[in-house]
Structure 1
């Protein structure tokens, strides 16, 4: 999307970027609004010495004055006409700012380039430019060093980001760091996330209280909740733990006293639950992939909730092992390691050239999901005729429950790999790993393997466990050696949770 920069005042306040498709090629050019051109020409003739910045401020002041609440009664007849003319002039002036903001965001959101083109970002910026009185309501004319165009670029970028975050779950779920994610949660979302992990009511209450204490004691500005949000210090964790203990006492909760280490564990559990919850909500497919909503609870749903699923596991194991190798690999990476579809595409594209993009992985997952759902229903009806799945509605109703079982099944496969690795270690090596886990103020899931220095036996064993686990996964799934290193933090989460289960 290349256009030449406008050089004179007349062009800058009367022309707009016009995007057309010619023979399947996107082209852009400047299109002049003749009415705006005549109007700005007449104004320039009256004051030929006035510079571009003067006219930009002139039109902006007109917009801000006439759009204010106290002056709404003035925006009538001729005043209304001049208001909209000024608005068009100012929008024309902001065209280059729109384009610059669009280019910056297009570069920033590289991981979703397949979804949004530069032209789309430009159009979103133009929506903001069409309401300059809102965009510039806080603009300070007295600060002469502030350039209107520079101010607009920053505002447009913020506007585009917010629009994308609002409409795109994939963008939103990669927006926050671990602790930034906790600050972004609300009570309802965290409660549902914890309940989705099959936590008892008491465990949900204690973890939600830990989260509330964290939010109250660990203050971060809302606009700083990004991928660089810092972790709380040990002093802050101690303060949060002490506050948590006080609140437990006030609420007469019989929870054991929490330490800073225990607080990290509880918060990390909340983080994992929230990630899984948002991951489940994000299933981007080109067609609707969500289950048909139905408030009716079937006998099958009750069985799942009561965890009476020995027969289900047998069916699932038989069905999954009969699926193509590609299906097993995709679901193990997706459900077992919690990788996004974009991450999976980058990981398997060398093995499966047809899976280069996120949407290609999404299509395969959708196809395999549907196939497994139908095969499961068929197998279920043969073994359980008394609770049969009779139609499409019944099949769709069990989809969510089957997804949960499939996730647990895939996660169990990785637990099995870790158990086998664990058997290779001596008793002393195992104790070193467990002691290291309990003594550190940060969980293994928050550490990057590359930053672990092998300067003592404990750290060396932890590093060895993580590296051995990655090597075994790459071998089992026929992945290129070393490709999992990019996802150290996610794989470390799996290892960390497994170590916690060994306590």
Structure 2
């Protein structure tokens, strides 16, 4: 699988498979323009893929925008492909091909997005790489169990929550959903009384049982349904429940949809309005967050560099600095404390600070690529002086508790 080269490709291209092998990347024109607009309007934004993955995930969470979902679906194409490759290698006797597993993985991307918590795992791709194979295994296990079930066994196993989700996904009206749900409740109550548990191939209900279920439904509808409905026959109840089983299977295992509909620069592939990134407060806040984090990281690195350079000084110089900054002794007092001459004390103070300043200048040039001027050296010297006082001040407090 050829890696994608830049941020624009990562969030706008989809994998095309040919004979169960990766063939090429297909670019969606609107997605490409969308991410390019973001980069053009926000040049200060990071070009890190993880920055934009988290951005689109937040956008998807807050706006429920189809655009964000499609960007993330494009971004996770490699995760879907490698999950499919590993699955087909393990399940050698499976009737499914790599392309089938690839499309199943794509169908689970929205679940991955719902479960992803940026505060716990900073990388969406890392999370998807771990979570997607597990999710696919669960789907295959459930599919196998469902394939073995009759409609009646499936309806007996399904939960009320999943049943309502399946009926809603099928596009039924609230009234129809309420009727189907009541029919299912009556079916479970009477069917369970006459069947043993744990059997996948449960027998089809008898005509008498269907009539009993219809009678129970017609009695319960007055108290269980908010709208007035007509009396139902046993045939109608049976048809409703067969249709309900179909909706549940379709909801649990949606038909595999090909992503090959995405064509190179095809503007008609998907339809949505491109947001105006120049007025997008989310990207602005994320840039601000990243700037703050970068500054904090730089400050932490700088302080670590200063501490390292302090520890690299010879022991006598460290003692002089400690007495001067921690205990506030004068050079005369340090001279008496350490039995040194005054010029030696003065030289060690100067040389110690110069060595640490030189280390700080070198770090700034090599890490931050900052061209150092005389004014900046003065600023760094002031920073060093403040850091030494804080460093030894904190050390003094810790050791006097």
TM superposition score normalised by structure 2: 0.35
**Looking at both structures, which has the greater relative contact order when contacts are Cα pairs under 8 Å and sequence separation is at least 6?**
2
TM superposition score normalised by structure 1: 0.29
Larger radius of gyration: 2
